Amino acid sequence: MDISVIIPLLNEEESLPELHDWIVRVMQQHKYSYEIVFVDDGSKDKSWSVIEGLSQKNPNVKAIKFRRNYGKSPALHVGFEAAEGNVIITMDADLQDSPDEIPELYNMITQGGFDLVSGWKQKRYDNAFTKNLPSKLYNWTNRKISGIKLHDMNCGLKAYKKEVVKSIEIYGEMHRFIPVLAKNAGFDNITEKTVQHQARKYGTSKFGWDRFINGFLDLLTITFLSKFGKRPMHLFGTMGTFMFIVGFFMTIYLGVEKLYCVYNHERAPLVASNPLFFIALTTMVLGTLLFLTGFVGELILRNSSVRNHYLLEKKVNL
């Protein structure tokens, strides 16, 4: 099969028939073998009834329904698991992503050799304050922290090699960072393509300023896991050792000061009356705890069933 189109959705009953017909028209024009995977993320409207009708009319439609709203990441995850196409296309269900972009995205994967192609909505029709500005801040922060030079990392319209979506796990709200996850999984050939952005035709946007805050926290999580997930002692051990050494030298200083006063028959101040003593004590205790945290993390990792997962992947690929 050439293409799997994965569409996560929430309360999009009005747009689904039009989106389905548009995708089918593009596939037929270019003679692609395809499947459309609709993932209903707990819609409260008639979206599921619409999807059932489309699946009866078109055998290439697959339908997955969540009992309640879990979020876009779980929806994409189950969609990736169900996908069978050689190239995976994801798009939103609100008609703001144009299916006419599919052929070029497909060619960039199959002929251009890219692992992942992310859409870039250079000209947007969203509200400038509630969506455009948070999106620009979010993408700027992403580029600075992740090092991946994409202008619109959270664009729903993306194309992937099948191996990419089968090699990554998306949970929480990590759908915003699929390019980062792909890069961490060893798929470095990532690029972007300017795509047409459609004005929202039905319903209202489900995103706003909160996604910038949540997205920033999730990005820190991914950055930490990618750098230290396999070697926690490198982070906690380094921080703990540094803090312990700082506290230790403070303690040495206080001890030398005390001995100096005694040796010169001067009145020696109480060590506990010096604020430096409590700072030294705190840093040494925290340093020890951080070091032990890294040590425990290494013990857990050593007994993890997935610690050599990358070796298994290499053997399979060979």
Q: Are residues 135 and 190 in the same domain?
A: yes
Share of the chain above pLDDT 70, in %: 80
Q: Which pLDDT score, from 0 to 100, does residue 268 have?
A: 72
Same domain for 310 and 213: no
Residues 271 and 178 in one domain: no
Is pLDDT of 275 > 80?
A: yes
pLDDT tens for 157-213 read 999 999 999 999 887 778 888 998 898 888 989 999 999 877 666 666 555 555 556
Selection from 107, 93, 81, 77 nearest residue 193 by Cα: 107
For 42-76, how does the pLDDT look when each residue is reduced to its tens digit (9 = 90+)?
A: 999 999 999 999 999 999 999 999 999 998 999 99
Residues 180, 261 within the same domain: no
Q: What is the mean pLDDT of the chain?
A: 84
Q: Please report the pLDDT score of residue 216 as a whole number.
A: 65
pLDDT for position 166: 94
Could you tell me if 164 and 91 lie in one domain?
yes
CATH code of the domain in which 7 resides: 3.90.550.10
Q: Are 190 and 269 in the same domain?
A: no
Are 200 and 253 within one domain?
A: no
Q: Which residue has the higher pLDDT, 207 or 12?
A: 12
Phi, psi of 123 (to 5 degrees): -110, 115
Q: How much is the pLDDT for 169?
A: 85
The total number of structural domains that make up the chain: 2
The answer on 181 and 47 residing in a single domain is yes
pLDDT reported for residue 312? 38
Model pLDDT for residues 123-137, shown as the tens digit of each residue: 766 554 555 666 677
End position of a domain, from candidates 176, 202, 228: 228
Three-state SS for the chain is CCEEEEEEECCCCCCHHHHHHHHHHHHHHHCCCEEEEEEECCCCCCHHHHHHHHHHHCCCEEEEECCCCCCHHHHHHHHHHHCCCCEEEECCCCCCECHHHHHHHHHHHHCCCCCEEEEECCCCCCCHHHHHHHHHHHHHHHHHHHCCCCCCCCCCCEEEEHHHHCCCCCCCCHHHHHHHHHHHCCCCCEEEEECCECCCCCCCCCCCCHHHHHHHHHHHHHHHHHHHCCCHHHHHHHHHHHHHHHHHHHHHHHHHHHHHHHHCCCCCCCHHHCHHHHHHHHHHHHHHHHHHHHHHHHHHHHCCCCCCHHHHHHHHHC
85 and 205 in a common domain: yes
| pLDDT at position 65 | 95
* Boundary-marking domain end, from 228, 258, 292: 228
144-150: which pairs have CB atoms within 8 A and are 24 or more residues apart?
145/219, 145/220, 145/223, 146/177, 146/179, 146/180, 146/183, 146/219, 146/222, 146/223, 148/179, 148/180, 148/183, 148/190, 150/118, 150/120, 150/179, 150/190, 150/192
Same domain, 123 and 253: no
Specify the pLDDT at position 107.
97
254 to 52, 121, 257: CA distances (angstroms) = 76, 61, 5
Query: Could you identify the residue written with the tokens 């819609």?
Result: 43
pLDDT of residue 197: 76
The share of the chain scoring above pLDDT 90, in percent, equals 52
Q: pLDDT tens-digit profile of 206-263?
A: 555 555 566 667 667 766 766 776 788 888 899 999 999 999 999 999 888 888 888 8
Q: What is the pLDDT of residue 263?
A: 83
- When pLDDT is cut at 50, 70 and 90, the band that residue 265 belongs to is confident
Residues 181 and 50 in one domain: yes
Whether 305 shows a pLDDT value over 60: the answer reads: no
Does residue 198 sit in the same domain as residue 269?
A: no
From 158, 193, 228, give the residue that closes a domain. Answer: 228
Structural domain including 174 reads 3-228
Mean pLDDT is lowest, of 81-95, 246-260, 291-305, for 291-305
More confident residue, 138 or 27: 27
